[in-house]
Chains A and B, each alone.
Chain A
Amino acid sequence: MTTGNGRRDGSPYAPHTDADEAAMLDAIGAESVEELFDIPDDVRFDDEFGIDPTGERELRQTLADLFARNEELTEFLGRGHHAHYVPALVDDLSRRSEFLTSYTQYQPEIAQGFLQALFEYQSMLVELTGLPVANCSMYDAATALAEAALLANRLRRGASGHRVLVPEHIQEGRLGVLENYLDGADMEIASYPMEDGAADVDALSDLVDDETVMVYAESPTVRGVVEERLADIGDIAHDNDALFCLGSDVVALSLLQEPASVGADVVVGEADALGVGTAYGMGLGIFATRDDYLRQVPGRLVGVSEDAADMRAFTLTLQTREQHIRKERATSNICTNQAWVALRTAMHMAWLGPDRLVGMAKDAVTDARDLADRLDDISGVKAPVHDRHHFREFVVYTDQPAPAITNDLAGRGFAVHALDDHHIQVCITEVNADAADELVAAFEEVA
């Protein structure tokens, strides 16, 4: 029987007492709740799932035990998912239920708080990219890249071809998502070669033609290399009427060349380096572009307006681009997005302020350089493999088989990523920098 909160035979979050249920059925004119289900017998489910309800205390323990089966390794891992220290303020304030348990801001008059926070996030991205339009989130860098390619294709409907050029070195997930998103638009992907970890600009120039709708480059690249000829890449794209899409992340953008200054038409990438920490790849896709393409932007945009009291107020805007209005002619199918992650990223960036953010980005260059130099001193190890500037991460060559070294390092408490038989990628930020000495020592033992 139901007795309100704490009863054992129903949902702990359905608060009905027996008396209420009876009164409600009476008002409806029904004998039982089951009577309200209009489901034909031939599709009724009469079996069980076999999931036993569990008390909150027991379940927390069960899940804590399960997660404890993850080995406690110090991770020197990056490749598109980067962990920086997330201050307590971000957890504390973003978890306020007014933020966490709100819906998309379809009624802006009661949702000014979230809308303003998203507007502030958009503004921070505008500052970082130098581009005037930033949406308030894509799922991750991979889907943002794919959406950029679709945008480029829409702008070039009459083009003779529909090709996107991507770097030879690209995170597998980004390439995989791009392939799936472009399939339905009959677009194709080609890759341009890299030379010593950076774009081979001459080779790229030969590959771009009038069938190319977009050229994509990254800085830092998936191998952590700072791309040095972004402006040249942009020029090549523009000379062929293609868009130049630049991939980066929120920390790198605070230090490296401003995308607008090198001719980027669209900036995509990960914003999860701030506000997220390590979350098994859960991301926050950046999407920023020029004013000219405003009406082709995918996803939600927050804008400023005025209310009936002539006060400044915020609202979702330009919704005629979106699926709930435009259906199959929408710029994208995205509806639910990563708004709460964007809130956290904005909080984290505001907490850092410009000084500490730039300082963190400089550390990403110098810490990577220092760690690479120290690994390079080890016999049988060369680091970095590419004679370039690096940001956070770099590739290490090992005489010994890389998978075995990776395995041995795991046994000593460290996670690094084996790229192939003799290459390992290593990533350093402030969350693992304190363990750099120990990593070097362990490397010496196993390499």
Chain B
Amino acid sequence: MNFDQARFSREDVYEPLLSEKDSTTVEVDADGVLPDDLTRDELTLPGLSEPQLARHYTRLSQMNYSVELGPYPLGSCTMKYNPSFTEDVAADPNAGVHPDRSDRTIQGTLGLLHGLQEYLADIGGMDAVTLQPPAGAAGEFTGILIAKAYHEARDDDRSEIIIPASAHGTNFASAAMAGYDVVELPSDEEGRVDIEALEAAISEETAALMLTNPNTLGLFERDIVEISEMVHDAGGLLYYDGANFNALLGRARPGDMGFDIMHYNVHKTFATPHGGGGPGAGPVGVVDELAEYLPSPMVRETAHGYEQYEPESTIGKVHGFAGNWLVLVKAYAYIARLGDAGLADASAKAVLNANYLASQIDLEVPYGPFHHEFAATSGDRDAADVAKRMLDYGVHPPTTKWPELVSQAMLTEPTEVEDKASLDDLAHAFNAAYADSDEALETAPSKTSARRIDQVSAARNPRLSWQSLDDSE
């Protein structure tokens, strides 16, 4: 496949900024509305017609890659196809109610939330689920706050969270935000949790161990039952990061492995669109013993219909209202559409695709057996350069240089939505880029809207608004 991304350009800019198309200043004359000293003097914004805006945003959209254009094998990000119908469902005008409505008048909304709480509890092997956290990292923070509340209720003052070195950066940041010291855990030679190192790390200070399984190399933590016993024997809790849950649907559940708390990444596992960075949703599931600490409100079913309630020892709020409602609707619709068989098939094909792709690329994959993702190494080639060259083949490259356990890592997760032909194209992009000359790699990409972008200049001389561009002229 030949790829040339659309580019709109004039002189030394691509599509001009809205502010370059029009800049209108209006005097804010609020006579008779508010006293002068309570209002601003003027406001300057673009004042464009609808047809002009339609072209502006359509051109911008054409200078943007998406999962509907091609594969997006970002390891641990799980970019899968987002079904069209879930968008229509979420756009139902009856679905958009205000959060201050009384329970009795929004039985549809509460019914969906209750249904999703139940679905997620079943799929994760958890006893109760909150839908309030607005993203995965917010879910982590919520989960750690729950762990903290649990320990505090026992007058058990613990100060540490143990996290594998290869974990997502959000794990460390979430634990720190909740006030914990982070103890970093090295991997063993096979890329899994080092049991001896874990033994040494666990103490009466251990509030929780955060793990993802399969881990960021795609490897299942085979010793998970032993790990769980070690943590629990020391009075700690076990937290599951749901980033890699797409590997396990219908085959294993965090609750059955001994995890006490987990978050779900609905844009990863349940196909809600990532929207160029969000909104996501990070529901959190817990075992019975922790259900009293969940954020408020939760939804339950009674003889009189659905109602919201406050868990007995709730940690309170983690979002101003009920989280990212529209995203939750899409996740519910996806789960209901696929059912047991579809969910299990999604994981099967995700694992099949990762293994097939790995077998077709010339790069070494040092660890295995992996599941839905693998960390290839570009060896003596710079992984970021190989990735830039892959762009010219019309695919999005993998996550690069992470996890650090693998040198020049290219963490690759094709997901279940690619067919064999697409995977063959992807493998070709890997192999062609990997084999290309140093010069080709360093000057890539050349077929994208923009050529290689200077990151250093952007950070050294921050220009973060169109106003800052005017100033520098």
Contacts and interface: CB of A to CB of B under 8 A. Distances in A.
B296 to A, nearest CB: 8
B252 A14 contact: no
Contact of B63 (A33, A45, A113, A139): A113
Interface string A326-353: 1111101111111111010001011101
B109 to A, nearest CB: 6
Contact of B420 (A20, A322, A324): A20
A311 B449 CA distance: 11
Interface stretch (A79-87, A157-165, A203-211, A394-402): A79-87
Contact of A174 (B30, B100, B174, B320): B320
A15 interface: yes
Contact of A38 (B222, B326, B468): B222
Interface in A358-393: 358, 362, 365-366, 389
Interface in B383-416: 387-388, 391, 396-397, 399, 402, 416
A333 B170 contact: yes
A53 B339 contact: yes
A104 B25 CA distance: 33
* SS of B interface (majority): mixed
A48 B253 CA distance: 11
A75 B101 contact: yes
B345 to A, nearest CB: 3
B340 A15 contact: no
Nearest to B458: A305
B69 to A, nearest CB: 7
Contacts of B107: 69-70
A59 B28 contact: no
A177 interface: yes
B454 A280 contact: no
B201 interface: no
Interface in A27-45: 27-30, 33-34, 36-40, 42-45
Contacts of B335: 51
Contacts of B455: 305, 315, 317
Contact of A306 (B178, B326, B360, B453): B453
A31 to B, nearest CB: 12
B341 A280 contact: no
| Chain B: interface size category | 35 or more
B274 A257 contact: no
Interface in A288-326: 294, 300-313, 315, 317-320, 322-326
A21 interface: yes
A258 B40 contact: yes
Interface stretch (B73-81, B230-238, B283-291, B429-437): B73-81
A112 B7 CA distance: 9
A281 B320 contact: yes
Interface in A107-125: 107-114, 116-120, 122-124
Q: Is the interface of A mostly helix, strand, loop or mixed?
A: mixed
Contacts of B271: 13
B48 A350 contact: yes
Contacts of A136: 277
A114 B352 CA distance: 32
Contacts of A56: 85, 337
B316 A14 contact: no
A354 interface: yes
Nearest to B68: A97
B220 interface: yes
Given A75-B97, A142-B320, A336 B25 contact: no
A317 B462 contact: yes
Nearest to B85: A56
A96 B94 contact: no
Contacts of B57: 93, 96, 117, 347
Interface in A250-307: 254-258, 261, 277-283, 294, 300-307
B130 to A, nearest CB: 13
A307 B30 CA distance: 45
A52 interface: yes
B180 interface: yes
B185 to A, nearest CB: 13
Contacts of A27: 356, 359-360
Given A60-B85, A81-B99, A353 B47 contact: yes
Contacts of A139: 134-135, 138, 279, 319, 324
B346 interface: yes
A113 B60 contact: yes
A255 B34 contact: yes
Contact of A184 (B95, B180, B321, B391): B180
A128 B40 CA distance: 10
B12 A107 contact: no
Given A39-B252, A132-B468, A177-B320, A280 B40 contact: no
Interface in A68-108: 68-73, 75, 77, 79-81, 83, 87, 89, 91, 93, 95-108
A101 B252 contact: no
A417 B100 contact: yes
Contacts of A6: none
Contact of B451 (A134, A143, A307, A317): A307
Contacts of B122: 49-51
Contact of B108 (A11, A67, A302): A67
Contacts of A340: 273, 275-279
Contact of A43 (B46, B72, B256, B419): B256
B420 A89 contact: no
Nearest to A261: B40
Contacts of B468: 132, 304
A137 to B, nearest CB: 7
A133 B464 contact: yes
Nearest to B182: A328
Contacts of B224: 40, 43
Interface string B163-179: 00000111011111111
B342 A89 contact: no
Contact of B141 (A89, A179, A333): A333
Contacts of A49: 119, 122-123, 250, 339-340, 343
A127 B176 CA distance: 34
Contacts of B67: 97, 101-103
B322 A280 contact: yes
A440 interface: no
Given A67-B108, A127-B45, A280-B98, A24 B135 contact: no
5 contacts: A13-B83, A77-B100, A107-B65, A305-B455, A355-B47
Given A14-B349, A99-B66, 11 more contacts: A9-B345, A11-B416, A25-B352, A54-B336, A68-B94, A118-B276, A304-B468, A306-B453, A310-B12, A330-B172, A336-B280
